[in-house]
Amino acid sequence: MDKYLLVVLVFLIVGIPIAFVDPVTGEILEQPLIPLFYASIAGICIIIVYSSYKERKERQRENRRRRFKK
């Protein structure tokens, strides 16, 4: 996984508890910030899918180079 994707992933993971805890007082919110929670989950899923897609394409490219090298 690229460095910038890893940094974004960390921010998204940190965003999940912020949806349930008030950052100012530290108390648990009665009405959690549901859009922030689901946006973080969706972002994490997108990063994982994109990263695996990118790695698969790179593997295919390397295999193609090895096959045609002979």
Tens-digit pLDDT profile for residues 40-58: 999 999 999 999 999 999 9
In the predicted model, residues of the chain with pLDDT beneath 50 are none
- Pairwise CA distance, residues 69 & 60, whole Å: 14
Are the beta carbons of 5 and 50 closer than 8 angstroms? yes
Backbone angles phi, psi at 30, to 5 degrees: -70, -45
What are the C-alpha distances in Å from 64 to residues 26, 50, 55, 67, 70?
A: 54, 21, 14, 5, 11
pLDDT of residue 22: 86
Alpha-carbon distance of 16 to 70, in angstroms, equals 50
pTM value is 0.80
**Residue 57 in tokens:** 């394409």
